[in-house]
Amino acid sequence: MSDHESAASSEQPKIEAVGSYAPRFRVSSEAFEEAWGQFHAAGVNSKAVPDADEDALTMAYEAATRALDAADRDGSAVAFLAFASTTPPLAEEDLTARLGGMVGVPRSATRHVFTGSTRAGTRALDAALSAGPWPRKESEDGEGVGLVVAADCPRGDPDSDEDHAAGAGAAAFVLSASGGAEITARTEYAEEYPGTRFRRVGSETVEGLGATGYERQAFTETLAGAVEQLDYDGSEIDAAAVQAPNGKMPYRAAGALGVETDAIRRCATVHELGDTGAASVPLSLATALADGAETVLCAAFGSGAGADALLVETTDSEAVASSLALGDGERVTYAEYLRKRGELTSGPPDGGGAYVSVPSWKRTLDQRHRLVAGRCPDCGGLNFPPEGACNDCKTLVAEYDEVDLTGEGRVEAATVISQGGAPPEFAEQQAQSGDFAVAVVALAGPDGGEASVPAQVVAADPGSVAIGDDVETTMRRIYTQEGVTRYGFKIRPQGTE
């Protein structure tokens, strides 16, 4: 028995809730075949395509908020935050600071970032289990919860095997002492297999040597080395969450893992979302738990090569709360796919945009990330942002009472920004995504009242946005200046996946 396996005990945190997210756009294997004459990703029917204002961090936010909502908790309960991705928006920056700010995690929470390997997602889970339980540092009593998020959107050169398979998605897990699914065993294994999949310094694209037999051997042998250390009967496995660089490789490893192919197929997301990198196994695990699987084997592979194996057991079929957003999505052509990736655009224009310094932007993060408004102490009206004269009573207010808007509201006015009409800082987004709608929205306060807020609309046909539509906020990229991406809220129709 390995050290990790012996460490698993009834005292370690359990999975209380899961959340997942995939971008709404899909490009089919047929679209690739029409463009290139062939499709290199066996078993992938379609793959998720991030919009121009989406990246691993915004997808992590989507999954994290769904997991917290499913657990009926908010970010203030989080004492441990881990973020895993092979495609972080920045090569060097602690992105848990931004993610934590977006979901309201206390500033004193323990944070970890995992990257550089497609097994980063299971590495993050392993670290959380080893670190918990976590005392709250900014709360009156009780223990905090852990929040582990894996989000990825790999890409390769356009005609490479890696790019034909590359998809996008995110999964999140809320861990606590009261969770209904326990990771009862954990093992890992490594064997030197250089070149199976790698990304060079300074490159955005992953590569492989194309040595098919070598890659299969690395994948199967390394996963088997981790799984063989677990003590389980393959016939007891309800679902198997196996790393999926394409739609065929996980099933090739079924025999070595001692599981039936149906167990892999039950929770596989690769066929519709593509290769989701570090989120591959977490997405399949979240899917399995949401589907009521009682015993789940997780087998994560990272080129180099290393593997993690986890055995997850639930107390009953409804033990884990879930909120998954992996719907069928909207089909795009191959040209639209390249456009959203920025392959067919010339990049943002030089100068001419509204300049907002990073220190100035930082001062508005409470409003942009957590919808902090101000309640007028004289008339009780809500004001966003909370500064200057009250919009209702016109009194010049020195200090507003802070309140968090709910993130739900209705459209009061809307218009469409067409080609050439976007401010320069939004020109690149428009070049990638086309026309977009902007609206004035009445966002509800926690105890009544509304605040009028301007926002860009996402996840909807720009021409379909109408006065009176119910909307909700989400987090997206706003624009990038001086190499620093500004993130903030945008709105979408309520209930949009």
Q: Assign domain 3-341 to its CATH architecture.
A: 3-Layer(aba) Sandwich (3.40)
- According to DSSP, the β-strands at 436-444 and 78-84 are unpaired
At 226 the pLDDT is 95
Check residue 4 and report its DSSP letter. Answer: H
**Per residue in 148-202, pLDDT tens?**
999 999 999 988 899 999 999 999 999 998 899 999 999 999 999 998 898 999 8
pLDDT of residue 234: 80
pLDDT for 421 equals 67
What is the DSSP code (8-state) at residue 465? -
What does the domain layout of the chain look like in residue ranges?
3-341, 358-493
Name the CA radius of gyration of the chain, rounded. Answer: 23
The helix (run of H) or strand (run of E) holding residue 227 is helix 212-227
pLDDT per residue as tens digits for the range 8-18: 444 789 999 99
Output the pLDDT for position 2: 39
Do residues 326 and 273 make contact, with C-beta atoms less than 8 angstroms apart? yes
What is the structure's pLDDT at 142?
A: 66
Q: Is residue 238 within 8 Å of 294, Cβ to Cβ?
A: yes
- Going by C-alpha positions, the residue among 173, 129, 155, 156 that lies closest to residue 283 is 173
Retrieve residue 251's tokens.
């099933």
Per-residue pLDDT of the chain (497 residues; tens, 9 = 90+): 334 433 344 478 999 999 999 999 999 999 999 999 999 999 999 999 999 999 999 999 999 999 999 999 999 999 999 999 999 999 999 999 999 999 999 999 999 999 999 999 999 999 999 887 887 765 555 688 999 999 999 999 988 899 999 999 999 999 998 899 999 999 999 999 998 898 999 899 998 888 788 999 999 999 999 999 998 888 889 999 999 999 999 999 999 999 999 999 999 999 999 999 999 999 999 999 999 999 999 999 999 999 999 999 998 767 899 999 998 789 999 999 998 888 866 666 665 567 788 898 899 999 999 999 999 999 999 999 999 999 899 999 989 999 999 999 999 999 998 876 667 777 777 778 888 889 999 999 988 889 999 999 998 888 888 999 999 999 999 988 888 999 999 999 987 76
DSSP string, 271-337: HHH-B-GGGHHHHHHHHHHHTT-SEEEEEEEETEEEEEEEEEEESSTT-SEEEEE----EE--HHHH
| pLDDT for position 9 | 42
Instruction: Please give the pLDDT value at position 246.
Output: 94
**Cβ–Cβ under 8 Å, residues 474 and 458:** yes
| Bridging pattern class, strands 470-481 and 484-493 | antiparallel
The whole-model pTM stands at 0.92
14 close to 31: Cβ distance less than 8 angstroms: no
pLDDT of residue 462: 85
